[in-house]
Structure 1
Amino acid sequence: MTAATLFTPQITPELDDTGLDNHATIIENEGVDYDDAADDMSEEALIEGQTTSPESAQFRKLQKKLRRQVSWAIRDFNMIEDGDVVMVCVSGGKDSYTLLDILLLLKRIAPISFDIVAVNLDQKQPGYPEDILPAYLNEQGIAHYILEKDTYSIVKSVVPEGKTYCSACSRLRRGSLYGFAKQIGATKIALGHHRDDMLATFFLNLFHGGALKSMPPKLLSDDKQNLLIRPLAYVEEKDIIEYARLKAFPIIPCNLCGSQTNLQRAIINDMLREWDNAHPQRLASIFKAMQNVAPSQLADRELFDFERLSLERDDNERVFEGDNIQAGQTDSLAEIGLPVSPKTQTFNPKFASDNSNDQLSTGTEKVAEHNRTMQKIPTINPVL
């Protein structure tokens, strides 16, 4: 059984009042196959072992929303299949904690069998609290590995003073985790990037990289040895922040290397938050646009064959609808082979007055009313 079967919803997505296929709105009100099993379970069973009070209606509502958003992403992109071993990369931040927590919840209620193992890479940054994650994972009874590798010293030695370490650090971290996933036989690598991360990456590439690209919800690594999934692709960061607060996760800060100031990503994130506060539907619209690409309306010659575009006109003549056409330099027009007196036709009759053929009164009011009616401009949608 595949994720496409497992996570197939019982409803057809509807457009909200913005015209968007808003998964978040639909998910709040509708269920999916495997998720119905969760609704049949008692809330106590679903929240067993959690630090937040089971009586918290706010927590239950938020957890249900995240659970269903993650299930939609898994279904839409066939992220998890029967028999998968999902390696969840846990950094100690709010995103990876939330991802791990929601996937463990889904594992308990899903009608297919898949396993989850948490993996953390201790990169030996100064001041890194190396006891926090193992303590949390052991307390929760979660199978895990803690990988120790001093990539911090390597990054320090190769990155010029004053430059940010993030790019080099992430490449080294990614290489280590990819290799370990193959070593232990993990079939999927789950990363904690959420919707806002994907939007921020889109704008970073747009503003600074000259490319329309982002983080895809599912990705085959360049060497084709690993499949990466981002189950939080439909989840908003503000919901993750609230969920982490309610769950009281032991957060490990990500600024231990001291290179986080003036990052372009931070600037983009501030821009997105300002947009979200001022225009609540804007980010949803942008994310929807990332799922609704029209190559013929862009300028990438690799995606669309602009060179071979050709006319396919029929013999039907479309005569200009208007009052008059003034032709200038008629000799030149004739030399080109163009008409010197193109035909015209009146506006569509449906826009004319019902009494347009009647004798007009000489009264001022009737003449003015007739003129207003005849000057009404029809709506035309030309095919460009």
Structure 2
Amino acid sequence: MPTLRHADRRGAHEATRLAKRLRHQVGKAIAEFGMIEDGDRVMVCLSGGKDSYTMLDILLQLQRKAPVSFSLIAVNLDQKQPEFPEHVLPDYLRSIGVDFHIIEQDTYSVVSRVVPEGKTMCSLCSRLRRGALYSWAAENGITKIALGHHRDDLVATFFLNLFFHAKLSGMPPKLLSDDGRHVVIRPLAFVREDDISAYAQAKAFPIIPCNLCGSQENLQRKQVQKMMAQWEHDTPGRIETIARALGDIRPSQLSDPALFDFLSLGRRDAAAQADAHAWLAGEPHAAARGGDD
């Protein structure tokens, strides 16, 4: 049918445009933050979700024409969740000819035993998962660890810290681990989640749902995501504006004296400056009393 063929051509064209946009955004993030260097051995952390599949796919495309030489290895942590389809990732990775490794560590039992029923598991689960991945990276000459967090994750983390932890911080596109041994990169830092969803559907990735934390509905992150979705519905483009703001920080327009020297701003050299204790003590300065008798 002509109409059906036209729809197929249109769908293929849109998929091609989407892939090009994702390559551009990932390439831009890699360049702006110096994520990948010549000779890097990049560990692509693959969970079986749409984000990590997309990250691996786009990195493989960029690798073919990259201005530097680097290798990729896909690594999955099998956490021994009940009914986890262990064959899906290995079968997929073999089908596309990607070097991979499966780490087997029963973090599911640990989390299920330690976390009280009704409490969120994400914090402990992520710490155990991070420890297993970091250990394997250290033992296998990995120079960069790639995670599949996207633009919306970065914005959501900013609001999580703002609303629940009273601090302005987020999820940086590139960071050094606390022990100083690992460089973590987030190549999808500029990519919208909606685009990832569309791309994963077009590519028909074999998605594996996370049954450990995905079933927990009362998570703080889900509250923030619901808020962001409503914002985007009411004012399209708002999340992109916030994401750009995370890369345009003005310390002098905030209130952190550790980032900006407010004490020296406009200070006269000869003027005395009392500390907070003196201001609160209730004892006026000699000059304010008219001098000593």
TM-score, normalisation: structure 2: 0.86
Q: 1: distance between equivalents of 2:267 and 2:165?
A: 35
| Cα displacement string for residues 252-305 of structure 1 (whole angstroms, at most 9, x for unaligned residues) | 002345652211111111111121122122111111111111111111121112
State the match for 2:24 in structure 1: 68
Q: Distance in 2 between matches of 1:130 and 1:237?
A: 26
The CA RMSD over aligned residues, in Å, is: 1.8
For the pair 1:135 / 2:91, whether they are aligned, the reply is yes
Offset at residue 130 of structure 1 (A): 1.0
How far apart are the structure 1 equivalents of 2:260 and 2:215? 41
Amino acid in the other structure paired with 2:26: V
- 5 Å-filtered alignment, 1:341-352, equals none
Q: Against the structure 1 CA distance between its residues 96 and 243, is the aligned structure 2 distance closer, same or farther, given a 3 Å change threshold?
A: same
Please say if residues 124 and 151 of structure 1, whose CA atoms lie closer than 8 Å, have aligned partners that are also in contact: yes
Sequence identity (%) = 59
Give the whole-Å Cα distance in 2 for the aligned partners of 1:74 and 1:131.
32
Deviation at 1:309, TM superposition (A): 2.0
| Structure 1 counterpart of 2:47 | 91
Q: Could you report, residue by residue, the CA deviation over 1:28-70 in whole angstroms, capped at 9, with x for unpaired residues?
A: xxxxxxxxxxxxxxxxxxxxxxxx9998101100000000000
* Matching of residues 254-269 of structure 1 within 5 Å: 254-256=210-212, 259-269=215-225
Among 262, 280, 288, which residue is 1:306 paired with? 262
Structure-to-structure mapping, 1:11-26, within 5 angstroms: none
2:71 is aligned, of 115, 119, 123, to 115
Query: Partner letter of residue 134 of structure 1?
Result: P
Aligned to 1:274: 230
* Partner in structure 2 of residue 184 of structure 1: 140
Task: Name the CA distance, whole Å, in 2 between partners of 1:268 and 1:119.
Answer: 29
Once residues 251 and 199 of structure 1 are traced to their aligned partners in structure 2, the CA distance between those partners, rounded to angstroms, is 24
Compare CA radii of gyration and give the structure with the larger one. Answer: 1
What number of residue pairs does the alignment pair up? Answer: 262
CA contact (8 A) 1:123 1:148 kept: yes
Whole-angstrom CA distance in 1 between matches of 2:202 and 2:125: 30
Instruction: Tell me which residue corresponds to 1:197.
Output: 153
Aligned counterparts, 1:330-349, within 5 A: none
Is the contact between residue 125 and residue 257 of structure 1 (CA under 8 Å) also seen in structure 2? no
CA–CA separation in structure 2 for the residues paired with 1:152 and 1:226: 25
Give, in whole Å, the separation in 2 of the partners of 1:111 and 1:291.
25
Q: Is the 8 A contact 1:164 1:259 kept in 2?
A: no
Asked if 1 retains the 8 angstrom alpha-carbon contact of 2:43 and 2:142, the reply is yes
In structure 1, distance between residues paired with 2:60 and 2:212: 28
Listed as ranges, the gaps of 5+ residues in structure 2 are 1-7, 269-287, 289-293
With over 3 angstroms needed to count, the CA separation of the structure-2 counterparts of 1:176 and 1:272, relative to structure 1, is same
Aligned-pair CA distance for 1:158: 1.6
Q: 1:292 to 1:168 in 2, by over 3 A?
A: same
Matched-pair contact (CA < 8 Å) for 1:54–1:60 = no
Cα deviation, residue 247, structure 1: 0.3
Shift in CA distance, 291/257, structure 1 to aligned 2, threshold 3 Å? closer
Q: TM-score, normalised by structure 1?
A: 0.66
CA distance in 2, matches of 1:118, 1:53: 32
Equivalent in the alignment of 1:164: 120
Q: Secondary structure at the match of 2:43?
A: strand
Please give the alpha-carbon distance, in whole angstroms, between the structure 1 residues aligned to 2:27 and 2:253.
32
Structure 1 residue ranges without an equivalent (≥5): 1-51, 313-335, 337-384
What is residue 111 of structure 2 aligned with on the other side?
A: 155
> Which is bigger in relative contact order (C-alpha 8 A, separation at least 6)?
2
